[in-house]
């Protein structure tokens, strides 16, 4: 029943994340990067809790009780995602941020490695080919052109990018582990339970951190609560879809198919900003599509 459901769920997650990113970009102008990032957790939490309540009522069962493994994996995933975001923001503050973003996009390969080492999820040869081809496509699209590449050696932003990609990969593996650790409930209920616990921890950590070091970013989101609320809803919806996909299949499958987000972003850019694709971007898109096609073909055969 669930063998291919993860495919449309992942596509929905990628589309919702594209919309959320656009909303967060709009909020960044007034709240700054940290303030806009905090919106994702603080304003997403009430919607995640609401999703969990509705799912629990519809299914007629209580959310599964947390156990030690679940709590450890949830803390792992939540803190790794915060660390990944912080590393990404640090990289993007450098002049060579395009180099950093290129290395962040190695996340699917790192996810496949960490999922194998931690969860024992082994990809077949065709799966590894799909991961590598799709990741190569994103890297080709992301690499800076000679005119925009920095003259200095970009080893520092590259290192930050690799670490950020690794932290994002560890976050995905942690959340997948948390979902699998729950002993009862449907995939949807276990995914929603994991999301709510994860967002609660992230909202708490981010709010305390901003209250201590950047109060203006925290209180600024309260002044634009309507826009923050909508961004929080889209973030919670995207995360709900990601977590459900994690509950249905291996995390490497989900994060590789999730690279279609770059296709959605390109469509949005062309529609909103009338931006023409460069040759390098066309080649990258072809590779991403080829990698995704390999992955879907492997699942459907």
For the chain, how many structural domains are there in total? 1
pTM of the model: 0.85
In which band, very low, low, confident or very high, does the pLDDT at 69 lie, cut at 50, 70 and 90? Answer: very high
Cα 27 to Cα 39, 101, 166, distances in angstroms: 9, 21, 27
Confidence of residue 153 (pLDDT cuts 50, 70, 90): very low
* Complete DSSP assignment for 36-92: HHHHHHHTHHHHHHHHHHHHHHHHTSPPPPP-HHHHHHHHHHHHHHHHHHHHHHHHH
Give the mean model confidence (pLDDT) for residues 279-300.
78
Measured from the Cβ of residue 204, the count of other Cβ atoms closer than 10 Å reads 14
- Let me know if residue 244 belongs to a domain: yes
Question: Is pLDDT at 20 greater than 50 in this prediction?
Answer: yes
User: What does the pLDDT read at residue 12?
Assistant: 92
1 within some domain: no
Q: How many CB atoms lie within 10 A of CB 149?
A: 13
The answer as to whether 215 is a domain residue is yes
Give the helix ranges, DSSP H, for the chain. Answer: 6-42, 44-59, 68-92, 97-104, 107-114, 125-142, 155-181, 187-213, 215-223, 225-248, 251-257, 261-273, 279-300
Q: Averaged over 259-278, what is the pLDDT?
A: 62
Residue 52 lies in a domain: yes
Which of 1-15, 144-158, 172-186, 221-235 has the weakest average pLDDT? 144-158
Higher local confidence (pLDDT), 284 or 248: 248
Q: Which domain holds residue 202?
A: 6-300
Q: Is residue 55 part of a domain?
A: yes
Given a cut of 80, whether residue 182 has pLDDT beyond it is: yes
Residue with tokens 């919806």: 237
Domain-located, residue 253: yes
230 inside domain: yes
Q: Give the model's confidence band at 56: pLDDT under 50 very low, under 70 low, under 90 confident, else very high.
A: very high
């Amino acid at each position: 029943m669930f063998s291919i459901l993860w495919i449309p769920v992942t596509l929905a997650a990628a589309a919702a994340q594209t919309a959320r990113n656009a909303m967060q970009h709009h909020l960044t102008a007034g709240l700054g990067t940290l303030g806009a990032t905090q919106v994702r957790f603080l304003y997403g939490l009430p919607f995640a809790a609401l999703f969990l309540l509705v799912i629990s009522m519809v299914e007629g069962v209580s959310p599964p009780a947390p156990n030690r493994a679940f709590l450890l994996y949830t803390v792992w995933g939540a803190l790794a995602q915060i660390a990944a975001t912080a590393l990404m923001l640090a990289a993007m503050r450098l002049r060579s941020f395009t180099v950093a973003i290129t290395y962040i996009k190695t996340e699917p390969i790192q996810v496949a490695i960490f999922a194998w080492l931690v969860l024992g999820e082994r990809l077949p040869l065709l799966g590894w080919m799909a991961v590598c081809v799709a990741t190569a496509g994103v890297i080709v699209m992301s690499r800076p052109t000679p005119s925009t590449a920095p003259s200095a050696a970009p080893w520092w932003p590259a290192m930050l990018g690799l670490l950020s990609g690794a932290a994002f990969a560890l976050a995905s593996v942690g959340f997948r582990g948390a979902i699998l650790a729950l002993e009862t409930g449907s995939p949807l209920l276990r995914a929603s339970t994991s999301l709510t616990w994860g967002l609660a921890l992230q909202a708490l950590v981010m709010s305390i951190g901003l209250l201590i070091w950047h109060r203006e970013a925290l209180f600024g989101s309260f002044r634009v609560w309507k826009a923050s609320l909508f961004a929080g809803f889209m973030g919670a919806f995207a995360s709900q879809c990601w977590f459900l996909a994690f509950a249905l299949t291996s995390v490497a499958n989900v994060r590789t198919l999730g690279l279609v987000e770059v296709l959605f972003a390109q469509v949005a850019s062309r529609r909103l900003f009338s931006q023409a694709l460069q040759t390098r971007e066309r080649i990258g898109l072809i590779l991403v599509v080829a990698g995704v096609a390999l992955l879907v073909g492997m699942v459907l055969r």
